[in-house]
Amino acid sequence: MTETERKNLELVKAGFANGISKQLEIKQQIKGPDSILTPDEKQSIIESAAHYYGEFLTALGVDWENDPNSNNTPKRVAKAYVNDLWAGRYEKAPDITAFPSDGYDGMVFEGGIPLTSMCSHHHQTIMGKVHVAYIPGKDSKVIGLSKLNRLVEHFGRRGAIQEQLTVAIHNSINTIINDNKGVAVMIEATHNCVQCRGVKHGGASMKTSKLTGAFKDDNATRAEFYEFIKGYYNG
């Protein structure tokens, strides 16, 4: 390791609870922003996490090592976090394809994008739908439709509170289409931490939204966005 690399390593701060993993952050600091974790590096994270999860179960008084249904649970849980539940922490953001709009300057809306995430507070699942819309500038580009789904999937698979997730999705679209006339994101989701702990209330859902540009300033544009959402639910 060179002195520059060592200095960069020392300057790296741990990522926020809803950010990329510290391991990926360090690698990108040293190797560049397009760096990714190798399968071996991910496996090392899984092995370390499994060890500490086993200690966590032991501290709770669980004799997991002598239970045939649980003796591999620490590794299963660690793999689920790295490969699925928090996969967005260990991967770079997806490449986003944008195409010429050919002068189209109306609203682009996609409703009902499936969301699976995990809250930062109790590590319980968040399940719901995301509705997104933006208005491209006259000479700007439009985002490939499936890429909106990939953005939701990526940020959802980092884990966050719903408010942070709403902002992250909004800001990513706002950055990609930087000459847009407005961006809108609404999330409606149920939180397992409400259903299985604390008040233990099932059926409650949470809505969050972030609106900018015409969606915030123009009543007609905002109403059109919400009408599109109603249309999604009403078929």
The answer on pLDDT for 118 being more than 60 is yes
Choose which CATH entry (2.40.50.140, 3.40.50.970, 3.90.1580.10, 3.30.1130.10) describes domain 98-234: 3.30.1130.10
Q: What percent of the chain has pLDDT over 70?
A: 92
pLDDT attached to residue 204: 86
What does the pLDDT look like over 6-59, one tens digit per residue?
333 333 333 444 578 888 888 888 888 788 899 999 999 999 999 999 999 999
pLDDT attached to residue 52: 97
CA-wise closest residue to 162 among 135, 130, 133:
130
pLDDT attached to residue 178: 82
Radius of gyration of the chain (CA): 21
Hey, what CATH class is 3-89 in?
A: mainly alpha
Q: Which stretches of the chain are DSSP H helices?
A: 3-11, 22-31, 39-59, 73-80, 145-156, 162-176, 192-196, 214-217, 219-234
Q: Which residue has the higher pLDDT, 95 or 13?
A: 95
pLDDT attached to residue 235: 67
What does the pLDDT look like over 44-66, one tens digit per residue?
999 999 999 999 999 999 999 99
Q: Where are the domains of the chain?
A: 3-89, 98-234
**Which tokens go with 208?**
């969050």
